[in-house]
Structure 1
Amino acid sequence: MSGTDVLDQLFTTPARTDDDVVALVTGVVGRPLRRQCWVLFLDERALPVPFLLPVSDLPLQPDEHVDDLATLVAEVCADNSAAEVVLVWERPGETELFPVDWEWIDACACAFAEHAVRVRGQVVVHATGTAMVELDELEAEAEAEAEVEHGEQAVRS
């Protein structure tokens, strides 16, 4: 099967499950080459909309431009009849998400919700493969950081 056939199949297969989403991202993004975010658009049947939005040169930490990104994505959704989006975090050379990545994940989830953009899921593409970002991981990491901070405060007291 040629590369074009694979892409045709990906764009005609609904991304209803997390495995479907991961397969779509793997087929579209491939292996990570540069630190950036991709926005993939899905229609009301969970079929990929043939419009991809790569976003590079993001600042290290989320800032007021996250709202601009959410506004842009909301407009693209309206213009392309997209019902939901998949956010993809491309991270070459990395094998895990770092606190700054979690800040982006959280900031985008909040900003997109404020603009009524439904996020089907967030996906990370890094050196060990492609996987759905589980928000449980974010909560666990925040709890671990709070415990460390609490322990440091107890030592200072």
Structure 2
Amino acid sequence: MTTANSSLRDRVLDHDDKLRDVLQVLLQRASQRQMWLMFMDDRGCLGDPLMPMDDYPDDPNDVVEIDDLGSVSEAHVLMHRAGMLRELTGNVSVVIAWERVGSDSVMNSDRAWARAMAEASQRLEVPLRAQFIVHSHGVRQLHPDDYL
């Protein structure tokens, strides 16, 4: 990581606009379809690790059989694993950025994933700080009004 990016990771992001601005610098704009899983530490800074995940499922509500969870939705699996990683890394909350090529308009797939992940975070009691879209021209925050 460059020194500039390191200093970005040391900024206290006490407002979502500040978090969006840092993600704009780090992620810039979409080049493919993938999900970024990120964490906030106890200082209110972006914590480690920053994890891109391509090839996430199309439908967050598809039910899958998982050995340790049983029959659950794809969103449940992702949020459960995000919660485990948050605890293992000592972070306080989860941040998700949905990267996809296109405009900053909220698409049906954005809405479906954001809603499903917000619901899973509540059911599993995983603190979800915020969700964003990384689009062809930058980063946009997804607010509950965008997906509920």
Provide the TM-score with structure 2 as the length reference.
0.84
Shift of 1:14: 1.4
CA-based RMSD: 1.6
How far apart, in 2, do the equivalents of 1:49 and 1:19 lie?
A: 17
Shift of 1:94: 3.1
How far apart, in 2, do the equivalents of 1:133 and 1:23 lie?
A: 14
Note the residue ranges of structure 1 that are not aligned, 5 or more in a row: 140-157
Note the residue ranges of structure 2 that are not aligned, 5 or more in a row: 63-72
Percent identity among equivalent residues?
26
Shift of 1:110: 0.9
The amino acid across from 1:61 in the alignment is D
Shift of 1:35: 0.9
Report the secondary structure of 1:20's partner residue.
helix
Q: Does 1:30 align with 2:28?
A: yes
More strand by share: 2
Greater relative CO, 1 or 2 (CA 8 Å, sep 6+): 2
More helix by share: 1
Matching residue of 1:83 = 92
Provide the TM-score with structure 1 as the length reference.
0.80
Please tell me whether Structure 1 or Structure 2 has the larger radius of gyration of its CA atoms: 1
| Residues 94-138 of structure 1, C-alpha deviations (whole Å, 9 max, x = no match) | 331211210100001111222211111111111232121122233
How far apart, in 2, do the equivalents of 1:95 and 1:27 lie?
A: 17
Shift of 1:32: 0.7
Number of aligned pairs? Answer: 137
